[in-house]
A and B are shown apart, each in its own frame.
Chain A
Amino acid sequence: MKLSKLFVSCLLAVTPFVAQAQVEQFKIMAPANPGGGFDTVARSLGEALQASGQAKSVVVENKAGAGGAIGMAQFVNNEKGNPHALLVAGAVTVGALETNKSPVNFGMVTPISRLMGEFNVIVVPTASPFKTLKDLMAAYKAKPGAVSIGGGSAGGIDHIMASLMSEKAGVDPDKLNYIPFAGGGEGKAAILGNQISAYISGYGELADLIKAGKVRALGISASTRNADIPVPTLREQGTDVVVYNWRGVFGAPGITPAQRNELIKMVETAVKSPSWKAKAEKMEWLDMLQSGDSFKAFLNEDIKRTAATVKKLKLGN
């Protein structure tokens, strides 16, 4: 024990010197098409790594498919042992890996840092009879099938939030009438056109419609009320559900603990740079920086919770 502790502290002593050297080229895998959430995080991190002088150049690689599983598979295969390769993944990936029975999983990559989060908001059309969350939950309890709730793809964070809310209402999530929409546009149209009873999405995505009074926000999935957002939390309205859609970065499989620590240090420096901060403010991202072992513990907890929900919803095969 003592020997290993000594070893680690020696490494820690050495790392600052290693980290000061500028990395020639970083490779960041965004397992989605250009323009989406993963891609935006990958490119913003790349810019921040360069702006803070830690990397000379950064290459962002896009590999879309299967909620991130395809990009992850390629990352695992190609980057083994590469200390300057990062993979962007998040809550969406956790859900996708669980439902798809993917051959790759988070055990094959090295957790570095959780970078940001977004909380969800549940909205109803302005013409809806539901004025508050309590109205909606009461109607749901009385007749679950009659309340259609839209959101992102099946098994994703929005679906998980809806099923957790259902549980809190004492209704088997299996009875949930969930309508998945891919890509956001169709879902927004459905709620604006009064086609569905309620819709769940990231706050940033719906903020403009809420501000313009085109939809009514019933609750956000944060733990406490945010000063800038005039929407009550689910928790304060008696539905104790807190979920975040988070995104983070992972290192290649088979890197040494020293290399992992070096990556953590570089990523944290980048995220604290003005370049990242400006971007985060623009995108309404929450600062949810968490690194190394505590990030790993959070990840395992999230995987466990997602797996349980996916099983209860009888998703996947």
Chain B
Amino acid sequence: MESLNALFSLGFATALTPANLLWALLGCTLGTAIGVLPGVGPAVTVALLLPVTQSVDPTGALIMLAGVYYGAMFGGSTTSILLNTPGEAGSIVSALEGNKMAKMGRAGPALSTAAIGSFVAGSIATVLLTLLAPVIAGFALQLGPVETFSLMMLTFAAVSAVLGNSPLKGFIALLLGLAMGLIGIEGQSGQSRFTFGLLPLIDGIDIVVVAMGLFAVGETLYTATYENKIAGRIESLKGSFWMSKDDWKRSWKPWLRGTAIGFPFGTLPAGGTEMPTFLSYSAERKLADEKTRKQFGKGAIEGVAGPEAANNAAVTGTLVPLLTLGIPTSATAAIMLSAFQQYNIVPGPLLFDTNPELVWGLIASLYIGNVMLLVLNLPLVGLWVQFLKVPRPLLYGGIIVLATMGAYALRQSWFDLMLLYIIGVLGFLMRRFDFPVVPLVVGLIVGPMAEKHFRRAMSINEGDLTVFLTHPISLLILLVTAAILVLPPLMKRRQVLLDSAR
């Protein structure tokens, strides 16, 4: 209760000053704009804002930077849903169902459920941050490479559910993603693999280039090629752009589940925002009833609501290790850390004692920022859906331009542009021959991480494979993984029982 006291007496008192409210508003607006632009991520923006904020007092500056961080997550879903161009890894999954919904004229509900889900998840996660930060941080540290590897096995098992109609094609796509993930320097030995002597490949292929290539470029090529054969056309708006009663009913549980998956992942040293979105998506798909499950892949609102809540909860989760231990677990958090250092503030165990008004002010401003973002984003939904009224050739031309800009913005490299179009052709071929693209993305993101943690675990434990079974948490995760693979019918029956018990 001490923390609640501090939050209200110190936190809101600091955050609710007119100047700080203004900084929060500025940060949220800027963040939303950045999220909408593909390729310009929150990490780069926060970095570029650092020198600008030098003359501002530290609390105001950090409140603004946190607004940028949050706002970018809110805005990132917009382009994913409307234009199928996921500008960052955390919103790839939202493109899956979200863009399908948009094409059916349900862009409004898709955007709304994303915005409200983000708000719900962000708020709950902030409450958890307020009450439990020190406890969770200490626990998360106990999870080392052994547990992390087991978690990744769980992710692989869970996403095999999204392998599409043909498991064979799904696995081929997954293997393709794993192979692409091998490109670049292998961290443990410093060997470069499959780079063919090309310097730009040494750091591997950027996931954003792959996502934009597969989704935006591939889709555009497909549409251009089969223009006449595609039935119907994009509906800009069918029915209300507001969520219907049914949409609400179908969204609230995914929001809560997404939060429950996303927040703990954010606090992990190796968490990130991508894995929880995959897990949330496959959880929603598995838990859906017969009728709803058929909608997955064709625009199921659960597939937007869950992952969007998950990525926002994860973003808040990353503040736990940052504030309590001084450990950044994402690129943006790393830059926030250097912002702290710029003001001679040392995040970490002593921060809550040395700068209480800053910490609690920042946390209070997260509550305020969440409300601001909702107010900012909901009215925009009506504006955004107008985009889909643009005639299709122009719309797809615009998408190609956006994707190209986004890929180039990453590191100003013509090589990445070439890669974007090559992957675009690959995406077109996959679409043409009915291969699902998500397993490829999952393989590319999770594959190299799993390899790294496996090698780390082996190195630390001198090659002892049994560690995965002797560490209790790891064993537990692996048992759950086995259950997912072996007992899907039982899992489902349990869910039915639970539902009827409610």
Contacts and interface: CB of A to CB of B under 8 A. Distances in A.
B326 interface: yes
Contacts of A153: 187, 190
B199 A214 contact: no
B323 to A, nearest CB: 13
Nearest to A213: B349
Contacts of B344: 282
B329 to A, nearest CB: 6
A54 to B, nearest CB: 19
A317 B50 contact: no
Nearest to B326: A208
Interface string A99-124: 11011000000000000000000000
Nearest to A46: B51
Given A35-B50, A66-B199, A188 B190 contact: no
B329 A185 contact: yes
Contacts of B465: none
Contacts of B27: none
Contact of B270 (A35, A100, A148, A186): A186
B358 to A, nearest CB: 15
A184 B334 contact: yes
Interface stretch (A190-198, A246-254, A258-266): A190-198
A307 interface: no
B189 interface: yes
A193 B47 contact: no
A146 B190 CA distance: 21
Interface string A205-242: 00011011010000000000000000000000000000
Contacts of A34: 43-44, 47-48, 50, 335
Interface in B97-140: 140
A116 B353 CA distance: 32
B192 A100 contact: yes
Contacts of B46: 35
B199 A190 contact: no
Interface stretch (A6-14, A15-23, A174-182): A174-182
B295 interface: no
Contacts of B142: 193
A179 B460 contact: yes
Interface in A268-317: 282-283, 310, 315-317
A282 to B, nearest CB: 6
A185 B47 contact: no
Given A34-B47, A35-B338, A65 B190 contact: no
A65 B203 contact: yes
Contacts, number: 137
B191 interface: yes
A182 B341 CA distance: 20
Contact of B333 (A66, A73, A185, A196): A185
Contact of B189 (A148, A154, A211): A154
A189 interface: yes
A39 interface: yes
Nearest to B142: A193
Interface in B151-208: 185, 187-192, 199-200, 202-203
A33 B48 CA distance: 10
A108 B373 CA distance: 50
A99 B190 CA distance: 7
Given A185-B328, A186-B269, A154 B47 contact: no
Interface string B26-45: 00000000000000000110
B190 A315 contact: yes
B121 to A, nearest CB: 23
A146 B462 contact: yes
A195 B144 CA distance: 6
A63 B203 CA distance: 12
Nearest to B415: A70
A33 B411 CA distance: 9
A40 interface: yes
A28 B413 CA distance: 18
B10 interface: no
A195 B460 contact: yes
A193 B144 contact: yes
Interface centre among A63, A102, A188, A315 (most CB of B within 10 A): A188
Nearest to A102: B199
B350 interface: yes
A182 B199 contact: no
B187 A182 contact: yes
A316 B460 contact: no
Contacts of B411: 63-65, 70
A155 interface: yes
B66 interface: no
A43 interface: yes
Interface string A124-160: 0000000000000000000001101000011100000
B143 interface: yes
Contacts of A65: 199-200, 202-203, 411
B328 A316 contact: no
B388 interface: no
A171 to B, nearest CB: 16
A81 interface: no
A316 B191 contact: yes
B187 A189 contact: no
Contact of B191 (A43, A69, A195, A317): A317
A154 B344 CA distance: 30
Interface string B257-281: 0000000000001100000000000
A316 B190 contact: yes
A183 interface: yes
A193 B202 contact: no
Contacts of A73: 199
Contacts of A282: 341-342, 344
A39 to B, nearest CB: 7
A35 B460 contact: no
B9 interface: no
A214 B144 CA distance: 17
A185 B460 contact: no
A154 B190 contact: yes
Interface in B412-465: 412, 456, 459-460, 462
Interface of A: 33-35, 39-40, 43, 63-66, 69-70, 73, 99-100, 102-103, 145-146, 148, 153-155, 177, 179-180, 182-186, 188-190, 192-193, 195-196, 208-209, 211-212, 214, 282-283, 310, 315-317
Interface of B: 43-44, 46-48, 50-51, 140-145, 185, 187-192, 199-200, 202-203, 269-270, 321, 325-329, 331, 333-335, 338, 341-342, 344, 346-350, 411-412, 456, 459-460, 462
14 contacts: A33-B47, A39-B47, A66-B203, A70-B203, A99-B190, A100-B185, A185-B321, A186-B329, A189-B141, A192-B141, A195-B144, A282-B341, A283-B341, A317-B192
Given A34-B335, A35-B47, A315-B190, 4 more contacts: A65-B199, A146-B462, A154-B188, A209-B349
Among all A-B residue pairs, the 8 with the closest Cβ atoms: A34-B47, A189-B269, A193-B141, A154-B190, A195-B144, A315-B190, A66-B202, A35-B335
